[in-house]
Structure 1
Amino acid sequence: MAFRGHQLPLVLCLIIMKVCSHVSEERGETVIGELHDRVTLHCPYLSPDDWDGREARVLWFRNLTEKILDCPVKEGERLTCEKNAYSHRTRLSPAALCGDASLEISHLQGSDAGAYQCWVILSQTYHRGNLVLRVQGVMKDVIKMDESSPHEMSTWNMLETKLPVKVLAILMSGWLIALLLVGILVSQRFFLRESRRKYMISI
């Protein structure tokens, strides 16, 4: 199926609207936690009118791919979350069915720093929230462990702060999806134009 040049913007808009029509997104904030302390990552959401308020599913990810928490929440039933390496340090807000799907992380570690994403699935509606967690006190501990390795310390600082905050924040935005769709449609148009030109030359 080929699209004419004037149809490309319309097709692109329809695809983006289809992807985002049932997703409500809250722009991220930066949360600062202290090493070895506890921190709460907030994820408030507004429930739709057609939701009965009895069942939901809450997921939390770190750096887009690492699942931190996966909890099916049902009214009147005990909360049972999927077990993983973070289970003993994470806790979902008890008000998960009342507009608050916040995540609490205890015994904060330097490796916990990064970009976080929460998903709240309510029947046909999805809510997504983005946050960035910074951990204070990490560099102090690194200096104590090895004061004779300044190069290693600077490398640790770069990995813990610059990469997750800047690069992953861009990847989490909807612009990445839009750019990929534009690239696909433009490539298809270019291929069709080249095929038509070669056909005319052969004639």
Structure 2
Amino acid sequence: MSDHTINLNKAHFTISAPDIRKLPNDDGIEVAFAGRSNAGKSSALNTLTRQKSLARTSKTPGRTQLINVFEVEEGMRLVDLPGYGFAKVPLEMKKKWQKALGEYLEKRESLQGLVVLMDIRHPLKDLDHQLIEWAVESELPVLALLTKADKLSQGKASAQVLDVKKKLKPLGGDIKVYGFSSLKRTGFDQATQVISQWFSQNIENTEESDEVAE
């Protein structure tokens, strides 16, 4: 068993890539963040890494046009994928982003976990559901963070989390759902724990594979 403790605070920017061909070598472990362009993805990344400006936040949704890579430790990366589903983006640009997103999800061998961010007031839009369904079919664990939880009362936020869990249950798979607020740090501990476990488990699997090979 590995006793490796993962510290997400160490994350630092390494590269922005227009597609998977420009990404670092496809080895190690990657946890990807995906969501609609207005889901608060950059804010969540900054909160989880305890950094104010690791991922650039913008008042204009849809600014993440590239695949942004942040290294936590050698061989361990957080990946910020292009936002999807924002209407005020030219169609050609939207197609380009969607292609980069799809290629990454389908072909990236080092992807070991997917964080899907959804506004708690409007969760499980078609593209969100399709993405989670795809991840389950690909046997990828999913962490669904319902962002902007501070916009609802505690009771309503809890009800939304329960409702999303209920709707995703038929998919099966390893799906965890939490309310999340970058402002109030709601769900911070749970999300950090899940992501750290993904990294740790995969380190253990790699170490076991290496021992068998020897």
Q: Is TM > 0.5 for Structure 1 vs Structure 2?
A: no
TM superposition score normalised by structure 1: 0.29
Which TM-score applies when normalising by structure 2? 0.28
Instruction: Give the greater-gyration-radius structure (CA).
Output: 1
